[in-house]
Structure 1
Amino acid sequence: MKVLLSLLAWCVLFVLCWPLALLAIVLWPIVWLLSLPFRLVGITLSAVFAFLTALMMLPARMLGGRASRNTTPQVI
């Protein structure tokens, strides 16, 4: 669906201003290549923060600390 909407938007741009549409087609791969390192850095930082979160929560998980479903105390 996203590709279809992009194609439709490009067709409308081509009808309204064809030089700009052709420039967008030519420059899109260059912009994608330039943004690739930033995406890789974002993926790496996301993984590092997920690892640090898991590392910080490990003692609580080892002790069995989970949120209970009911808030009333159980009487044994």
Structure 2
Amino acid sequence: MFTFLLWCVLFVACWPLAVLALLLWPLVWLLLLPFRLLGVAVEGVFALLRAVVMLPARVLGGR
């Protein structure tokens, strides 16, 4: 909701910039998509490493 209100203020203050932002947003989203996928992969690797490191404690009954 806040983003929409901020966009409306931008539209009133400087409508060409707001229209340009509206048109360029899909391109920016496509450019950032590989970084999001990389972030998901790195998060998965860290979760796997944490599970491997914590396995002995879980087997011995620790929390």
Structure 2, unaligned runs of 5 or more: none
Letter in 1 for 2:57: A
Structure 1 runs (4+) deviating above 6 angstroms are none
Give runs of aligned pairs for residues 17-36 of structure 1, distance below 5 A. 17-36=14-33
Structure scoring higher RCO (CA < 8 A, sep ≥ 6) equals: 2
Check if 1:39 corresponds to 2:36. Answer: yes
Normalising by structure 2, we get a TM-score of 0.92
Alpha-carbon separation, structure 2, partners of 1:43 and 1:33: 16
Determine which of 43, 46, 51 is the counterpart of 2:48. 51
Q: 1:60 aligns with which of 35, 57, 61?
A: 57
In structure 1, stretches of 5+ residues that fail to align are 67-76
C-alpha distance in 2 between matches for 1:14 and 1:44: 37
What SS is found at the alignment partner of 2:62?
coil
Q: State the number of aligned residues.
A: 63
Question: What is the CA distance between 1:39 and its match in structure 2?
Answer: 0.4
Q: Does residue 11 of the first structure (1) align with residue 13 of the second (2)?
A: no
Which structure: greater helix fraction?
2
Which of structures 1 and 2 has the bigger CA Rg? Answer: 1
* SS of alignment partner, residue 46 of structure 1: helix
